[in-house]
Amino acid sequence: METKAETAIPYDLKDRFGIVTGAASGIGQAAAVHLARMGAAVALVDLNQAGLEETVALMGRQSDAPTLVFTADATDDGEVQRVVSETADAFGSLDFLINSAGILRRSGFLEMPLEEWDLMIRVNLRGPFLYCRHSVPHMVRQGRGVVVNVASLAGRSSSILGGAHYTSAKHALIGLSRHMARELGPRGVRVNAFCPGATLTPMTVNSTTEEEIEAVAATIPRQRWATPGEQAAVIGFLVSDASINITGACIDSNGGSLMI
């Protein structure tokens, strides 16, 4: 049995190439910046062009690795296929996919419009599925790849900060990740769900009152909300070879909280 320590630095992502969706703000933006700091070349995807420009500027302060930018709808199959194809052609490789794009609504179950249910499922579940569907074949051909689907602590239990549609989509995303891991592990592709707890992103802050933020913080053992940068560090770990034996997992980063 080989016992000699590896000489490679496990957190070094130099010569790794991938896609981050939802890269214009929040955890997606922080993940893109963190991965660039680790040496990766990243394709940024979002509908918010101004936010993408901000992300590019932040990345430029951390790395000189190449960056691609796409304004695209994660629920449109044709647009997703274009993003993945052009990224793989430009980089010559597709080593990781971070599905971070998502939206949050807070309608009560009894008052929830059907259109809002459909929208939440499309963005928070169909979108990640489409990016996986078009990205994974490239990874299989290479014999390696990593997918991180950003779910939520709501996908572990439920959430007072999001509606039943948000909770349902995140539960399903965890299930999708675990099933993909089982199928794709023998072909060199690792798939994990990442479940952040309460995090101070524009998405959550814009839909939450200051009183609610304080009330949620009081329920967290660490007594505070996480920052996007703290969550991005976990994503970087999951992309790196330091997590080479982790697949089919649901990785929590919630400050010890059981629900949000």
Q: Which residues are catalytic?
A: 166
d(CA 104, CA 226): 17
DSSP state string for the chain = ---SPP-S-TT--TT-EEEEESTTSHHHHHHHHHHHHTT-EEEEEES-HHHHHHHHHHHHTT--S-EEEEE--TT-HHHHHHHHHHHHHHHS---EEEE---------TTT--HHHHHHHHIIIIIHHHHHHHHHHHHHHHHT-EEEEEE--GGGTS--SSS-HHHHHHHHHHHHHHHHHHHHHGGGTEEEEEEEE-SB--HHHHTTS-HHHHHHHHHHSTTSSPBPHHHHHHHHHHHHSGGGTT--S-EEEESTT-S--
CB 19 within 8 A of CB 67: no
CB 83 within 8 A of CB 127: no
CA distances from 125 to 7, 132, 147, 167, 230 (A): 39, 11, 14, 11, 24
CB 239 within 8 A of CB 133: no
